[in-house]
Amino acid sequence: MKPRFRRTRAVRPFHAPALIAGAIVLAACGTEADDATAPAPSARAEIGHIHGVAMDPADASVYVAAHFGVFKIESPGRVSRVGPNRQDTMGFAIVGPGTFVASGHPAEADAKKGAPPHLGLIRSTDAGQTWTTVSEAGEADFHALQQAGQTLYAYDSQTRRVRHSSDGGRSWTLGERLAVNDLGAYKDRPEEVYAATPEGLRKSDDSGGTFEAVSDAPVLTHVDVVDGKTLIGVAPDGRIHVKAGDVGWQRLGRLPDGQAAAFTAVGSRHLLAGTEDGSVYESRDGGRTFDVLYGAR
């Protein structure tokens, strides 16, 4: 986005509400890997479920947030672990050069030492090498984070409420309670936020205080806003849907592996998506076609 940078989750076949609900539940499971790098054939075992994918504007590197930490894509066959952290990294968003925000759960070793089950909001200013707690440690489990100008939006799976912050997440204003898989917003209209929900796409014009259904929209598991006027989303079957201004929704290409586990629109033509099998795909033509950045294909 702007280029804009952010976040994501995953789903099951073919009843749309159940798909998105499954996406929210599919959060954290598996065992910790010992290797610092993950070759493509064992992507799922090494990095765990993908929860987020985004591009750092500092150097255009693509990062994956997953069950066993944050990884940088080096080639279609290799990712490298970023820093020593192995936390279950959720709600991942890149909000500026080298600046990441996330949430999730502690690594298994830390949990055994008594770490609280929810990380709250954490932030890194060195591209994921180190993290500091900003707020809500032990309380909030943010499954979606979205920056829009000076406003940071979040969806907390524990309270099922959308919230927003104007001070980087140190304090929060609570919004509507609803089931959310993904949030989309843009810097030019920070009070306008979209939510992908099991009931369909919903829109708020009051910073998440209240939401109304977007009547003409398809059911989406993920949504982003780019250029201030273009909505780009992914349907439960991996189909890309785009709405530019007052033009109706267009059905474009489809992710090679179907279901999206994470999605980010870097711009109107540059899209990133992670799938359930641990692969990451990139589109440079607005979602008409996709190439492999990392994974099995």
- Domain contains 119: yes
- Domain contains 53: yes
- Domain contains 275: yes
- Domain contains 254: yes
Report the CATH number at residue 132: 2.130.10.10
- Domain contains 5: no
Rounded to two decimals, the pTM is 0.85
29-87 confidence digits (pLDDT tens): 333 333 333 344 344 457 888 999 999 999 999 999 999 999 999 998 899 999 998 99
- Reading phi first (left if > 0) and then psi (alpha if -120 to 50, else beta), residue 30 is in left
d(CA 227, CA 3): 9
Structure tokens at 164: 């927003």
The residue behind tokens 């790098």 is: 37
Q: What is the pLDDT of residue 297?
A: 52
- Residue 211 or 48, more confident: 211
149-175 confidence digits (pLDDT tens): 999 999 999 999 999 999 999 999 999
- Domain contains 6: no
Our count of domains for the chain comes to 1
d(CA 243, CA 227): 12
- Domain contains 4: no
Burial class of 46 by CB neighbour count within 10 A (0 to 12, 13 to 18, 19+)? buried
Structural domain for 130, as ranges = 16-291
Q: What is the pLDDT of residue 1?
A: 42
Which range has highest mean pLDDT (4-8, 40-44, 91-95, 258-262)?
A: 91-95
d(CA 297, CA 291): 9
Percent of the chain with pLDDT over 90: 76
- Domain contains 124: yes
